[in-house]
Structure 1
């Protein structure tokens, strides 16, 4: 199947083309601002499906709304009609098409041209009036407020919010592309007309959006992971990280260093507790304490160790586990058991720890006592 994508270098176009490129059954034809208009007819004649994503929303002069949104749609419609084929057409419009402003009027006119062309050709046409779409590769200060906020956070610029209660209706780009792919793969080769809506949107206030993104941005310092079971947070995090500067992917953790080695907190959350990592020198023992309620897991990833346990109620019986970094074996640390881990090898011991709750120095639930 050959698929033509106009506006292939735009935000949604790049995401759509990257999805289509993963498929062996699809050959993607791309039309961009740099493509000579003379090539459009040949692409349309070859295409089995057309995604018309090209358009403008913030041109320097108002006239460009007509040229970019209406003119190109007219040109595409003429090419489709000249091909004399009922090629399905999917058009991206905007919820602003319902508004009386230059952008909205130009998008509404483009919709009418596409739908009229479909009726003339007896071909299916699908018009999506998209809300604010966000995700990777969106252009800051152009495509979406999410892109602008992410860009500003990465550069250390302030997030200006004048109406924090203003409600936004947002759609995540991968959801939008998923809907488009469903249309492509469905049995569309019958004449169909109409508007379609994306399957999922998120309603969020401008102030809440700012707070969510600032929380994600602060994670490197706080190590606190927001609730990523919330899909909006998860999609915002994916979007935010896509704006990192090329020299800004890495960051250092704070380490507690002593004569035993070092220990560093990695990530933590009220929902899942915390993860930390340690490097322990040969012959050194960590632990020799117990917890009332806190549960831990130990995973040795490099080196050799012995982990020992003793039930707090038993003064003599010691349980021993020998582990090494080649096993990827996890040891659960039950509540009420005194426990310790000793580096029994000749090299440094590296261990990942998980605790069921975030360490609170005011109430640590850690009581020192020797296992043996």
Structure 2
């Protein structure tokens, strides 16, 4: 069994890595609460090291040197007693290119790792990561995405100093996949010998803020922003991970009448809308047709007959459907259609329409089947 040591195991990236590694890998978790004796023991047993620990928000800037350069040198010193030439993957930062205390400390740590490779012959993988976002990142710490996801999902204000500031972002799942690739010997490495995560995203602070606010408002409007781009999809997954645990659910408006009830569920400019209805026995819904709008019907409980008639014909086409055998019915344009509950219990139906209902242009025309 391969044994890996993960420093910073309780951190954002560490938690995601541990949750993803295969069960046939033994994981030695090291974090701030562990002792140096434990670190010595772990380095003697390790076959591979994911060095994720570091200091980025200290009370005193002098802690950068100790927590980044100093701890890295100590880790490498212990590793030299392991005869296996242990590979080391290190998370650095794009700030290593900058002349500030944090960047300087990360650059010094990089140099220590490179020197360790020259001295021992062990493989090393240094990743200068941009802004990483995803689940489990601590808000109000060092990630604007995490802070804003937390604030917006909790109804708190966010602060934007310069809305045009552009962020270079990378999703944590992409980071973890790249780390696993490196662990398996197929890392992405540039000409300057630094490793990198192939997929990154670019967005302004305004774009991020607007998207997060749209996610929050979607519970009221039911309009889900387009997920055509992967960034929006990943950001939505991140946003939902910050919801208060007593706010996972939200109610839908149920429109009741003598037929039963109907509720809209999801709307999207790109895929239309979903809604659901409960229809009482003997009740018929529909008796209308559309020029362009198309729909799908799916009865998931009860028994019903869905009828069609081409608007310029007399022949009626019937489909008997039931929640016992799921069958989706496409509703073509130019056919008036209806759904009748022919059973003894209520019928539950899922509907999809290819466009969001527009009361000013409903494209819905009454006509008995």
Common fold, TM-score beyond 0.5? yes
1:15 aligns with 2:13: no
- Matched residues in 1 for 2:233 and 2:186: separation? 32
Match of 1:368 in 2: 366
- Matched residues in 2 for 1:88 and 1:140: separation? 32
Structure 1 alignment gaps of length 5 or more: none
Q: Equivalences for 1:173-252 in 2 at 5 Å?
A: 173-186=172-185, 194-252=193-251
- Matched residues in 1 for 2:93 and 2:315: separation? 71
Contact 1:279 1:350 in 2 (8 A): yes
CA shift, 1:229, in A, is: 1.8
1:339 aligned to 334, 337, 340, which one?
A: 337
- Matched residues in 1 for 2:10 and 2:277: separation? 46
Listed one character per residue, the Cα deviations across residues 16-38 of structure 1 (whole Å, up to 9, x for unaligned) are: 11111xx1331111111111110
Match of 2:158 in 1: 159
Contact 2:255 2:263 in 1 (8 A): yes
Contact 2:336 2:367 in 1 (8 A): yes
- Matched residues in 1 for 2:315 and 2:69: separation? 82
- Matched residues in 2 for 1:118 and 1:143: separation? 30
- TM-score of the aligned structures, taking structure 1 as reference length: 0.96
Listed one character per residue, the Cα deviations across residues 211-233 of structure 1 (whole Å, up to 9, x for unaligned) are: 11111221111111111121000
Q: Equivalences for 1:1-372 in 2 at 5 Å?
A: 1-20=2-21, 23-186=22-185, 194-314=193-313, 316-371=314-369
- Matched residues in 1 for 2:186 and 2:298: separation? 51
SS at match of 2:81: helix
- Matched residues in 2 for 1:85 and 1:127: separation? 20
- Matched residues in 1 for 2:77 and 2:38: separation? 14
CA shift, 1:65, in A, is: 1.2
- Matched residues in 1 for 2:110 and 2:221: separation? 48
- Matched residues in 2 for 1:142 and 1:179: separation? 25
CA gap 1:187/1:236 in 2 versus in 1, 3 angstroms: closer
CA shift, 1:44, in A, is: 1.1
- Matched residues in 2 for 1:58 and 1:67: separation? 13
Listed one character per residue, the Cα deviations across residues 264-313 of structure 1 (whole Å, up to 9, x for unaligned) are: 11111111111100011111110011111111110000111011111101
SS at match of 1:215: helix
Aligned residues: 365
CA gap 1:187/1:139 in 2 versus in 1, 3 angstroms: closer
SS at match of 2:80: helix
SS at match of 2:56: coil
Listed one character per residue, the Cα deviations across residues 3-57 of structure 1 (whole Å, up to 9, x for unaligned) are: 111000000000011111xx13311111111111101122111111100000111
Contact 1:295 1:333 in 2 (8 A): yes
SS at match of 1:5: strand
Listed one character per residue, the Cα deviations across residues 311-344 of structure 1 (whole Å, up to 9, x for unaligned) are: 1011x31111111101110011111111100111
SS at match of 2:29: strand
CA gap 1:187/1:344 in 2 versus in 1, 3 angstroms: closer
Which deviates more from structure 2 when the two are superposed, residues 238-247 or residues 107-116? Answer: 107-116
- Matched residues in 2 for 1:313 and 1:119: separation? 83
Contact 1:4 1:49 in 2 (8 A): yes
CA shift, 1:154, in A, is: 1.2
- Matched residues in 2 for 1:335 and 1:319: separation? 14
- Matched residues in 1 for 2:289 and 2:197: separation? 53
Structure 2 alignment gaps of length 5 or more: none
CA shift, 1:187, in A, is: 6.7
CA shift, 1:199, in A, is: 0.8
